[in-house]
Structure 1
Amino acid sequence: MPGRSFLGHSTNLVGLPTDLVASCAFNEHPVPLRISGVREMNRSLFEMLSHAPDLPDAGIAFASYMMAMFGLDPEQQEPEPDGRPRGPRRYRSSFLRLIKGWGYDSNSPEGAVMKGWVESRFGIFPTFHKQVIDRTTGDGWTTYVEEKMSSRFHNNSIYTQLDLVYEFCQWALTTMVAPGESHVTLYRGVNDFDEHQIVERADKRNAVVRMNNLASFTSERDVADCFGDIILTAKVPVAKIAFFNTLLARHPLKGEGEYLVIGGDYRVKASYV
């Protein structure tokens, strides 16, 4: 990838320069990130969360809020005037559908939408989607843009849904899961570095790697072994965790200790299975 100029947009919705958010300097000395206006526009949600005694109850409150806000629960559809249930209704995009698609394949159209959300909110460009993306005029970029803009995923304020997932995740981490912690040690299994540009190599085991703008990690090293012969260990800032496997009681990523992490340049230690 030609230099640092391709890291991302000059603007974002988190109030810090994109180059800083994507840098090793931020990852080593992070500060909290907030997507502009999300908490202010959803004060009732965070008021409900403040009364939750534990994470499962907070998850129930969050799921109920999302159902009410975005019509995700079919039972909330009003009946016909004569009392009969409504017929087939228009498909409503859901953050859970995106997470399910990501779990099957991060290079799916659902994965493109999630990478597009990171680009929109944090300013960081993806570096891989089906193939290496090394410029905004290549085939890889064109495919990514076509898939991230698919109309079937953008009919229900899907980026706003993901904004709320991120802010709920940050609330849960800083309030209940890892209060007072700045980092979480996570692992990623890879077979090669096709998706990961090595920005700087200190020695055979230590390097700075440019992660895709959204990447899957796991909290369990044994699980990372299943995804590749090379295990990358990184100290991930809490502020750059967008989702984790115990955040909600029911979702498609429950089995692998999975974390969805905002990308950029990470200092990692590589070990071999």
Structure 2
Amino acid sequence: MVAHADISEAGTPDGDLIGHSTNLVGLSTPFLADVAFNARPVPVHISGVREMNGPLFEMLGLADDLAEAGDAFAAYMMAMFGIDREQREAGNGAERRRYRSSYLRLIKGWGYDSNSPEGAVLKGWVESRFGIFPTFHRQRLVRQAPAAWAAYVAEKMSSRFHNNAIMTQLDLLYEFCQWALVRFACPTETHLTLHRGVNDFDEHPIRERLDRRRVVMRLNSLSSFTAERDIADCFGDVILTARVPREKILFFNTLMTSHPLKGEGEYLVIGGDYELSVSR
């Protein structure tokens, strides 16, 4: 049975884990993981991705709306990584094709279970690119639990998913998402107000209590949020509400016309310390 959340009993993360000293975005990890970044974000880009994929962003620049841009992105990814339906599905005998890992497969797996092997790969991508450690994968990830870390590392490095340049695919997804947020989805807003329903704080330990309703919480390296509070209510008795900077969004549900997370208005939010309001 899942224990209900009680913010009076929550503590700070064991060992105060933040992340690696290096990343691929040219900003220090402690800054990226701090509430100060969320309050006053600066543009974030993964090194070399836009420069090495100029044709994609030239094509995106011709789009009249987000749906057209999403279709262009999907077509580019299909051409670059061979992840169209025919190549994803296995045939029989001599026609059988080698499994090709894809960002869509990871998103689908995340949708079923964020603690799945697909979820570990996505958390590992955040760790690699932003330097931010996860706080939870199946269980709390703390210095005093080496077996939990070993299990997470084994899943995030699984050869099942680490083919077909999967990290590069996720880099492109992030950069397309950032482009789309600025160009179409929220060009005049620096932050989005998003909600997450929880029943306990195992995944997101509280670091500081600001008042009865506001806390500073260490979010997992990647977490699901929604723009609809009614949807968040379906996932827990306690609702976390955050103002999330655009720069910490990997994916949102209207980014493409067809994908596995359409049903719940989902946003994939990159973690670190956030100031959140907590309500029941």
> SS state of the match for residue 262, structure 1?
strand
2:50 is matched with 39
Question: What amino acid is aligned across from residue 39 of structure 2 in structure 1?
Answer: E
Quote the Cα distance in structure 2 between the aligned partners of 1:30 and 1:119: 19
Identity of aligned residues (%): 69
Provide the C-alpha distance between the structure 2 equivalents of 1:215 and 1:127, rounded to a whole number of angstroms: 11
Give, in whole Å, the separation in 1 of the partners of 2:271 and 2:67.
28
* Residues in 1 aligned to 2:229 and 2:68: alpha-carbon distance in whole angstroms: 29
Superposed counterparts of 1:138-153, under 5 Å: 138-153=146-161
Report the equivalent of 1:224: 232
Q: Deviations over 1:63-82 (max 9, x none)?
A: 000000001125579xxxxx
> Between Structure 1 and Structure 2, how many residues are aligned?
264
Match of 1:211 among 188, 211, 219: 219
Tell me the secondary structure at the aligned position of residue 154 of structure 1.
Answer: coil
Specify which of 92, 100, 103 is matched with residue 108 of structure 2: 100
Q: What's 1:58 paired with?
A: 69
8 Å contact 2:126–2:132 — kept in the other structure? yes
- Spell out structure 1 runs of 4+ moving beyond 6 A: none
| Equivalent-residue separation in structure 2 for 1:265 and 1:56 (angstroms) | 33
Cα pair 2:87 2:97 within 8 Å, conserved: no
Q: Distance in 2 between matches of 1:42 and 1:86?
A: 34
Displacement, 1:149?
A: 0.6
Which residue of the partner structure matches residue 256 of structure 1? Answer: 264
Q: 1:86–1:73: structure 2 CA closer, same or farther, 3 Å change rule?
A: farther
- TM-score by length of structure 2 reads 0.92
Structure-2 separation of matches of 1:202 and 1:160: 39
Aligned residue number for residue 185 of structure 1: 193
> What is residue 237 of structure 1 aligned with on the other side?
245
Aligned twin of 1:157: 165
3-state SS of 1:152 partner: coil
Distance 1:106 1:228 in 2: 15
Q: CA 1:156/1:24 → structure 2, altered by over 3 Å: closer, same or farther?
A: same
My pick for the range that moved more, 112-121 or 199-208, is 199-208
Match for residue 17 of structure 1 among 19, 28, 37: 28
- For structure 1, the residue ranges without an aligned partner over 5 or more in a row are 78-84
Q: Secondary structure at the match of 1:227?
A: coil
What CA distance in whole angstroms lies between the structure 1 residues aligned with 2:250 and 2:116? Answer: 18
Deviation at 1:86, TM superposition (A): 6.4
Residue 139 of structure 1: how far off its partner (Å):
1.4
Corresponding residue SS for 1:180: coil
1:269 to 263, 273, 277: 277
In structure 1, the residue matched to 2:8 is: none
Matching residue's letter, 1:215: S
- Separation in structure 2 between the aligned mates of residue 172 and residue 184 of structure 1, nearest angstrom: 14
Larger RCO, structures 1/2 (Cα 8 Å, 6+ apart): 2
Amino acid at match of 1:41: M
- Tell me the TM-score normalised to structure 1 length: 0.94
SS in 2 for 1:92: coil
For 2:272 and 2:84, the matched residues in 1 are separated by 36
